[in-house]
Chains A and B, each alone.
Chain A
Amino acid sequence: MTSSECRTRLHALRRLALGELVGAEAEALRAHTAGCATCAPRLEALEREQAAFAERTDVAGDSARILAALEAAPTTRATAPWWRGPRAWAPLAFALLIAAAVWRLPGPDGAGDTHRLKGGGAALRMYVNQAEGPALAEPGAPLGPGAQVQFRYDAGGHSHVYVVSVDGSGVIGALYPSDGGASVAIEPGADRVLPGSIILDDAVGPERVFALFSRAPLGFEEVEPLVRAALEAHGGDVRAADRVEWAGGDQASVWFLKVP
Chain B
Amino acid sequence: MGPGSKRQEIAEIYRRYGPVVSRRCRYLLRDPEAARDATQEVFVKVMRAFHTQRPDASPLAWVLTIATHHCLNVIAARDAAWRQRFVRTETLAREVAEEASGELLVRAEQVRRLLGKLDDETQQIAIHYYVDEMTQEEIGQALDRSLPTIRKRLAKFQRVAQRELGHDVE
Contacts and interface: CB of A to CB of B under 8 A. Distances in A.
Contact of B44 (A59, A66, A97, A174): A66
B134 A11 contact: yes
A20 B60 contact: yes
Kindly state the interface size class of chain A when it binds its partner: 35 or more
Contact of B87 (A57, A172, A199): A199
A98 interface: yes
B133 interface: yes
A54 B15 CA distance: 6
Interface in B73-105: 74, 77-80, 82-90, 99-101, 103-104
Contact of B134 (A9, A167, A199): A9
Contact of B135 (A9, A180, A201): A9
Nearest to A100: B33
A171 B41 CA distance: 31
A145 B87 CA distance: 10
B80 A174 contact: yes
B48 A74 contact: yes
Given A49-B99, A70-B44, A178-B79, A59 B86 contact: no
Given A1-B129, A9-B135, A15 B60 contact: yes
B18 A11 contact: no
A65 B31 CA distance: 22
A208 to B, nearest CB: 14
23 contacts: A9-B133, A11-B138, A18-B59, A20-B60, A49-B23, A52-B19, A53-B15, A59-B11, A59-B14, A59-B18, A66-B40, A78-B41, A97-B31, A97-B33, A97-B86, A97-B87, A171-B82, A174-B79, A178-B79, A179-B77, A180-B78, A199-B86, A201-B89
B44 A69 contact: yes
A60 to B, nearest CB: 6
B86 A3 contact: no
A12 B105 CA distance: 18
Interface in B41-71: 41, 43-45, 47-48, 58-61
Main secondary structure of the interface of B (DSSP, over half): helix
The secondary structure that dominates the A interface is mixed
Contacts of B31: 97
Contact of B85 (A38, A62, A74, A203): A203
Contact of B47 (A1, A14, A18, A66): A66
Given A146-B88, A174-B79, A63 B7 contact: yes
B145 interface: no
Contacts of B82: 165, 167, 171-173
Contacts of B37: 81, 83
Given A49-B23, A178-B79, A94 B11 contact: no
B113 interface: no
Contacts of A173: 79-80, 82-83
Contacts of B45: 77
Nearest to A178: B78
Contact of B132 (A10, A74, A83, A145): A10
A67 B6 contact: yes
